Amino acid sequence: VRAASGGMNPELKTTIDELVNANRVVVFMKGTRQFPQCGFSNTVVQILNQMESPYETVNILADDRLRSGMKEYSQWPTFPQVYINGEFFGGCDIMIEAFKSGELKEQLEVALNA
Chain contacts with other proteins (rule: CB under 8 A)? 88-91, 93-94, 96-98, 101, 103
* Nearer to other proteins (CB atom), residue 32 or residue 86: 86
Residue 70 dihedral angles phi and psi, to the nearest 5°: -65, -35
Shortest distance (Å) from residue 55 CB to other proteins = 18
* Nearer to other proteins (CB atom), residue 10 or residue 39: 39
* Nearer to other proteins (CB atom), residue 28 or residue 88: 88
Indicate the pairing of strand 56-59 with strand 25-29.
parallel
| Radius of gyration for the chain, computed over Cα atoms and rounded to the nearest angstrom | 13
Shortest distance (Å) from residue 35 CB to other proteins = 23
Element (H, E) at 58: strand 56-59
Shortest distance (Å) from residue 77 CB to other proteins = 8
* Nearer to other proteins (CB atom), residue 79 or residue 88: 88
Q: What angle do CA 15, 17, 9 make, to 5 degrees?
A: 55
Cα separation of 17 and 32, whole Å? 20
Shortest distance (Å) from residue 59 CB to other proteins = 22
| Residues recorded for the chain | 114
